[in-house]
Structure 1
Amino acid sequence: MSEREETLSVARAWLDGYLRAWESNAPDNIRAIFAPDAVYRFEPWTPPLQGHEAIVAAWTDRRDEPGSFRFEGGVTAVDGRRAIVEGVTRYVAGTTYSNLWVVDLAPDGRADAFTEWWMDQASKS
């Protein structure tokens, strides 16, 4: 298997784990997808969260309730250990977001760094 194919496989498994964590909001599911000292940015220009405890606390404070959204998308590119995920999140309440995520994967398959861009589709012309 080539490096690209391996990273793609790891990235897809990571995305599956992310979706499990998003749906469950379970701290163990969240920790399972981030390295202990991972850096997480909810928006690219904001100061990052760093480490499991900060990521879990922020995630659970901002959590989406199970069944309140549907995500469609997948890994669209990889470069070395970096994966790009593109998707659309549709909330039951009616808001729809376009998503772009940049995930730097550690050798164990967890994210060392994660940055998300989310764009409200209602603001597009």
Structure 2
Amino acid sequence: MDTRAVMAWVERYEQAWRDDDVAGVGDLFTEDAHYLRSPYDPPLDGLDAIRGFWSDPTPFTMTAEPVAVAGRDAVVRVEVAYGGDEPQEYRDLWILRFADDGRVQHFEEWAYWPDKPYTAAPD
């Protein structure tokens, strides 16, 4: 993978998410993909699990920029702002591992948002 190919995948991801395109998930992820919404949560395993999570009609804006691309692995910095009744913004790092066909085998999200503590609270 190169930076251009990674960012083209991110653009397709954003468009599928924006269009609420559950069927398009198979164009983005391998059949056996692992999708971690947090590095500490169990992964969504396989396309059916990812499709079950995918649908979210909340309007949003998104920007993304590559941080690193090496072989099949990439890290992308993403900023998302949701509109609607309860606005929310996130700054994420996406860790991506691509299969040979250009779809993602492993997706891991490290999300942060305003007022989220950056360390564990003392006991």
Q: Do both proteins adopt the same fold according to a TM-score greater than 0.5, normalized to the shorter chain?
A: yes
> Where in structure 1 do 4 or more consecutive aligned residues deviate above 3 Å?
122-125
1:72-99 Cα distance to aligned partner (Å, 9 max, x none): 1222211211111102111224321111
Q: Which residue of 2 aligns with 1:3?
A: none
User: Judging changes above 3 Å, is the alpha-carbon distance between structure 1 residues 124 and 48 closer, same or farther for their aligned structure 2 residues?
Assistant: closer
Give the Å deviation of 1:124: 6.3
**For residues 122 and 69 of structure 1, what CA distance do their matches in structure 2 show?**
20
Q: Which residue of 2 aligns with 1:86?
A: 77
Structure 2, gaps ≥5 residues long = 119-123
Q: How many residues are paired up?
A: 116
CA RMSD of aligned residues (A): 1.7
Structure 1, gaps ≥5 residues long = 1-5
**For residues 26 and 56 of structure 1, what CA distance do their matches in structure 2 show?**
9
**For residues 9 and 39 of structure 2, what CA distance do their matches in structure 1 show?**
20
Q: Which residue of 2 aligns with 1:11?
A: 6
- Residue 117 (1) aligns with residue 114 (2): no
More helix by share: 1
Q: TM-score, normalised by structure 2?
A: 0.85
Out of 74-83 and 107-116, give the one that drifted further.
74-83
**For residues 55 and 115 of structure 1, what CA distance do their matches in structure 2 show?**
13
**For residues 74 and 12 of structure 2, what CA distance do their matches in structure 1 show?**
14
**For residues 7 and 33 of structure 1, what CA distance do their matches in structure 2 show?**
16
1:79-123 Cα distance to aligned partner (Å, 9 max, x none): 211111102111224321111100101111100000001111233
Matches within 5 A, 1:57-96: 57-60=52-55, 63=56, 65=57, 68-92=59-83, 93-96=86-89
